[in-house]
Structure formats: structure tokens, C-alpha cells
């Protein structure tokens, strides 16, 4: 039997008004499988009600009874940033760390150096860029995530934000709430998406779901990726493939970003690339904030090179209260919520439980969940990531507290 493990789990804070006594809906639909046939998370059991809040501290991903019942210890905290944080103190003798990208525990090389027992970093969601993957490779730490758990959740959010930007929904909503009715003001930046060119960067699980969902809007669909989609998919959706992102952005009116953050994609959308876009384009970024260069986005919105920017991902997270993306013109940002709907939480909580069951029992973790294992990029990580670290600058997250 595995020696007693210490698990540190970093989750976002409970709602300001306290843990919810009731929900808007009774439960969530039961899905049979993911698109393409990947099976849903399959733990031996779960100790939570799907559709309830699991991603905050009191929800605890529904793990406490299971972990403690197996004789291991579990620390759950939202206090994750800075040298005096609970995370930093608890990590020193932790074996396993669990974190959600929405409220990421930045596992930097410095933190890994202070955590000699750390062997497993689980992402409760998708996207493990909050872990210094180079340090994990060097220190033989396994990094894994719950592949597919919230891909469709994000695709739905991206489509919502594409429409919100092009039709200019947010200002119209505010106009109504504020008692106004000037139609000319309300439509001054509002267009139909029909006939536009829409492109995605990264035609993986989310990117291809966005393309599929955009097809009925009668737009021209484009994508770029390191590996081309099957010809049958390209033909069904009428896709134009671009071998590089420059070629894609030159012809698109809307660009939706869906590649992981790794050294190849860090600050991909900088002044130079945005300068190659059509004037008045829109960017939706639900992948990772750092794929876009912060000041380049602000400048492009101010000059009109971009007509709008939306998404839900920032760098760092939480962003300081004076982060310029909070106040830049013509944005439709949300906090990092797309992948943590109540529906998504049930899937990634079950996926984390499945991974922990494997870990405790000494069974292999599914290949499709692996990002780093045995000192190499593995599984999904070997396909979609490159080696290196993208956590630099994450210590700015401490500024949110003050
Ligand atoms: P996938 O691995 O299915 O898709 C990612 C795609 O990006 C792959 O097809 C990959 O290519 C491609 N890619 C990698 N590098 C590049 C590059 N340099 N240029 C172009 N394409 C590239 O993952 P998902 O679609 O499920 O998720 C994608 C990302 O979305 C996650 O990594 C995460 O960062 C983000 N995400 C955000 C969430 C949110 O709540 N906002 C929730 C879930 C995910 P290939 O594999 O062919 O090499």
C-alpha cells in the first residue's frame, strides 16, 4: 500500500454570500461520452452531487472523505500567492498538489525546489502552464490534467463572446439597465457575423468544437495548427487550413485562440502579429492570457486596429485591480469562468478522483491525461506542448491582495 500522502489542493474562494443553499437548476444532463468517443472520467465512486459547487474551498472537489478515508491528508486553501501564503507553507512536505487554472497555484521552479516530496501535480481542468513544466521535467514530477473535461464548456463561451463582440451586446445591455433607448448609439458598433471570416488558432478539442458551432452562422472558417485535421473534417466544415498564424490573421475578421500556452505561443499576439490583422478585427482568447501581449492588446483597441477583444483568461490570475484589460475600450472580458461552469466542475472533480485512485493504487494514469511523466512530455503534453517554462511574472498575482 502507498505510504501516507499529503495532498495540497488550491481552490477558489467560496461565494461572497456563503456556500449556496440552492441552485438555479435541478442537476445537470448526464453525458454518455465526449465527442469523438473519449470516455468520461470513470472513478470507482464519487462523493458529491453533480451540478453543485465543487470548485470552491467548501466544495473541495468532493475529495475529502475519499482522501482521508484512504488514510491520506488533505489541505484545501485559496491562499496561494506570496511567500506567506498557506500554499507556500504547506507545499514544503506535500506529495501531491491539485490546482484549477481559474485560480492557479503557480508551481514555479522556486516552489518546486522547496518541495522535495512533490511527485504529482494535477490540473483540475485543462492547461498546465501554471506549473513550470521544465522544472517538472527536470525533477521527475508527473503533471496531468483532465483532458476534455471542459473543452465544450469553453467552446460555448468562445462562441458567446464572438457574438457578443461582433453584435456589440455588452454596451446595449448597459444602455437598457441605465434607462436609455438611443438606438443609434446602441448600434453604432454592431454588425452581423454572416459572411465574415472566422479563424481559430489551435484546431484541437476546443478549436474544432468552435469551428463546428460557428458553421451554421454562414461564415468562412479558417484554422491553423501544428497538425492538420482529417480531410473529412475539413470538408464537412468547409475549412481553410493555414500553415502559419500570420497567413490566418491576414484574412480573418474574427480570431479565436485555442492553443495551449507554452514557449512557442507565449506572447504570440504581439504588436507585430496584431499589426498584420485586418483593421477592425476581433480577438477572442479563452486559451491563456499570456498568449497575448498585454500592452499590445490595449494599444490595438485604443487605435482601432482591433474593434474588440474578449475572453476569460488573464495573466497573472487573479489580475491586479489596476490590470489594464479591466478598463481598456471595447472589451467583453469575463473572469476565468468558461471552463468552471457547474456542469464542467462535475466532470473535472470526477477526473481528479479517477487520477488520485490510480495514484494511490499504483495504477497508470490514462495516457490522454498526461502532460509530463518520467522526465519527458507525455500523452496529451507530447502532442500539444513544447518544453520550457511560462510561469515567469506570476508573482504579480500577489498584488491582487493589496
Ligand atoms: P487540445 O490539446 O485538444 O488542443 C490544443 C491544440 O492547440 C492542439 O491541436 C495543438 O496542436 C494546438 N497547438 C499547440 N501549439 C500550437 C501552436 N504553436 N500553433 C497552433 N496550434 C498549436 O486542447 P483543448 O482544445 O482542450 O484546450 C486548449 C487550451 O485551451 C488548453 O491548453 C488551455 O490553455 C485552454 N483552456 C481554457 C479553459 C478556460 O476555462 N478558459 C479551459 C480548458 C482549456 P497539436 O496537438 O496538433 O500539436
User: Three-state SS string across 183-235, please?
Assistant: HHHHCCCCCCCCCCEEEEECCCHHHHHHHHHHHHHCCEEEEECCCCCCHHHHH
Residue 260 CB–ligand 1 contact under 6 Å: yes
Where residue 401 falls among pLDDT bands split at 50, 70, 90? confident
The mean of the pLDDT values for the chain is 97
User: What pTM was computed for the model?
Assistant: 0.98
Return the residue whose CA atom lies nearest to atom 27 of ligand 1: 206
The mean pLDDT of 140-164, rounded to a whole number, is 98
Residue 345 CB–ligand 1 contact under 6 Å: no
Residue 193 has pLDDT above 70, yes or no: yes
* 330 belongs to the catalytic site: no
* Percentage with pLDDT > 90 across the chain: 99
Catalytic residue (choose from 336, 347, 353, 366): 336
Residue 402 has pLDDT above 80, yes or no: no
State which of 100, 149, 202 you would mutate to test the pocket of ligand 1, scoring each by most atoms of that ligand within 8 A of its C-beta. 202
The mean pLDDT of 278-302, rounded to a whole number, is 98
Catalytic residue (choose from 288, 294, 323, 366): 288
Peptide bond preceding 316: is omega within 30 degrees of 0, i.e. cis?
yes
Hey, is 121 helix, strand or coil? strand
Residue 208 CB–ligand 1 contact under 6 Å: no
Residue 38 CB–ligand 1 contact under 6 Å: no
Q: Which residues contact 376 (CB under 8 A, 6 or more apart)?
A: 137, 382
Q: CA-based diameter of the chain, in Å?
A: 70
pLDDT of amino acid 296: 99
Among the residues of 127-168, which ranges form H helices? 133-138, 151-167
User: 53 and 19 in contact (C-beta within 8 Å)?
Assistant: yes
Residue 153 CB–ligand 1 contact under 6 Å: no
Q: How far apart are CA 392 and CA 177, in angstroms?
A: 41
Q: How far apart are CA 63 and CA 237, in angstroms?
A: 41
From residue 314, how far is each of 104, 202, 323 by CA, in Å? 11, 18, 9
pLDDT of amino acid 58: 98
Residue 206 CB–ligand 1 contact under 6 Å: yes
pLDDT of amino acid 2: 84
Q: How far apart are CA 318 and CA 320, in angstroms?
A: 6
- Closest ligand 1 atom to Cα of 380: 2
Query: How many residues are recorded in the chain?
Result: 402
Contacts 24+ apart (CB under 8 A), 69-74: 70/360, 71/4, 72/4, 72/5, 72/6, 72/7, 72/360, 73/4, 73/5, 73/6, 73/7, 74/7, 74/9
pLDDT of amino acid 233: 98
Residue 288 CB–ligand 1 contact under 6 Å: yes
* 150 belongs to the catalytic site: yes
Q: How far apart are CA 371 and CA 133, in angstroms?
A: 9
Residue 235 has pLDDT above 80, yes or no: yes
- Closest ligand 1 atom to Cα of 157: 41
User: 388 and 128 in contact (C-beta within 8 Å)?
Assistant: no
Residue 208 has pLDDT above 70, yes or no: yes
Catalytic residue (choose from 100, 150, 285, 330): 150
Q: How far apart are CA 164 and CA 167, in angstroms?
A: 6
The mean pLDDT of 285-310, rounded to a whole number, is 98
- Closest ligand 1 atom to Cα of 227: 47
Q: How far is the CA of 294 from the centre of ligand 1 (A)?
A: 20
Question: How many beta carbons lie within 10 A of that of residue 56, not counting itself?
Answer: 21
Strand partners, 345: none
* 336 belongs to the catalytic site: yes
Residue 16 has pLDDT above 70, yes or no: yes
State which of 103, 368, 384 you would mutate to test the pocket of ligand 1, scoring each by most atoms of that ligand within 8 A of its C-beta. 384
Torsion from C-alpha of 120, 124, 130, 133, nearest 10 degrees:
40
Amino acid at each position: 500500500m502507498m505510504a501516507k500522502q499529503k495532498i495540497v489542493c488550491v481552490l477558489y474562494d467560496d461565494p461572497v454570500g456563503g456556500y449556496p443553499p440552492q441552485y438555479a437548476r435541478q442537476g445537470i444532463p448526464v453525458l454518455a461520452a465526449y465527442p469523438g468517443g473519449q470516455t468520461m472520467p470513470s472513478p470507482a465512486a464519487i462523493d458529491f452531487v453533480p451540478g453543485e459547487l465543487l470548485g470552491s474551498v467548501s466544495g473541495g472537489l468532493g475529495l475529502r472523505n475519499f482522501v482521508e478515508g484512504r488514510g491520506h491528508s488533505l489541505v484545501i486553501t485559496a491562499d496561494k500567492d506570496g511567500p506567506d501564503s498557506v500554499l507556500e507553507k504547506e507545499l514544503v512536505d506535500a506529495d501531491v498538489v491539485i490546482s484549477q487554472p481559474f485560480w492557479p497555484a503557480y508551481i514555479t521552479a522556486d516552489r518546486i525546489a522547496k518541495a522535495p516530496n512533490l511527485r504529482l501535480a494535477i490540473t483540475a481542468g485543462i492547461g498546465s502552464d501554471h506549473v513550470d513544466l521544465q522544472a517538472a521535467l527536470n525533477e521527475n514530477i508527473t503533471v496531468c490534467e483532465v483532458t476534455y473535461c471542459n473543452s465544450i464548456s469553453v467552446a460555448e463561451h468562445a462562441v458567446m463572446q464572438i457574438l457578443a463582440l461582433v453584435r456589440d451586446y455588452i454596451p446595449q445591455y448597459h444602455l437598457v439597465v441605465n434607462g436609455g433607448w438611443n438606438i443609434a448609439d446602441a448600434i453604432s458598433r454592431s454588425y452581423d457575423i454572416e459572411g465574415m471570416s472566422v479563424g481559430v488558432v489551435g484546431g484541437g478539442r476546443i478549436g474544432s468544437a468552435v469551428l463546428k458551432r460557428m458553421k451554421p452562422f454562414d461564415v468562412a472558417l479558417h484554422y491553423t495548427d501544428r497538425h492538420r485535421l482529417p480531410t473529412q473534417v475539413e470538408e464537412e466544415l468547409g475549412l481553410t487550413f493555414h500553415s502559419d498564424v500570420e497567413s490566418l490573421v491576414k484574412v480573418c475578421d474574427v480570431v479565436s485562440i485555442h492553443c495551449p500556452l507554452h514557449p512557442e505561443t507565449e506572447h504570440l499576439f504581439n504588436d507585430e502579429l496584431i499589426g498584420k490583422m485586418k483593421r477592425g478585427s476581433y480577438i477572442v482568447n479563452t486559451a491563456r492570457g499570456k498568449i497575448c501581449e498585454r500592452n499590445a492588446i490595449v494599444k490595438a483597441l485604443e487605435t482601432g486596429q482591433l474593434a474588440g477583444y474578449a475572453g476569460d483568461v488573464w495573466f497573472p490570475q487573479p489580475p491586479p485591480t489596476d490590470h489594464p484589460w479591466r478598463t481598456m475600450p471595447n472589451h467583453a472580458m469575463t473572469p476565468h469562468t468558461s471552463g468552471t461552469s457547474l456542469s464542467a466542475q462535475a466532470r473535472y472533480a470526477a477526473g481528479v478522483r479517477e487520477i488520485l485512485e490510480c495514484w494511490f493504487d499504483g495504477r497508470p494514469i490514462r495516457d490522454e491525461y498526461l502532460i509530463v511523466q518520467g522526465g519527458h512530455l507525455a500523452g496529451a503534453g507530447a502532442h500539444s506542448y513544447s518544453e520550457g517554462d511560462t510561469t515567469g511574472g506570476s508573482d504579480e498575482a500577489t498584488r491582487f491582495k493589496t
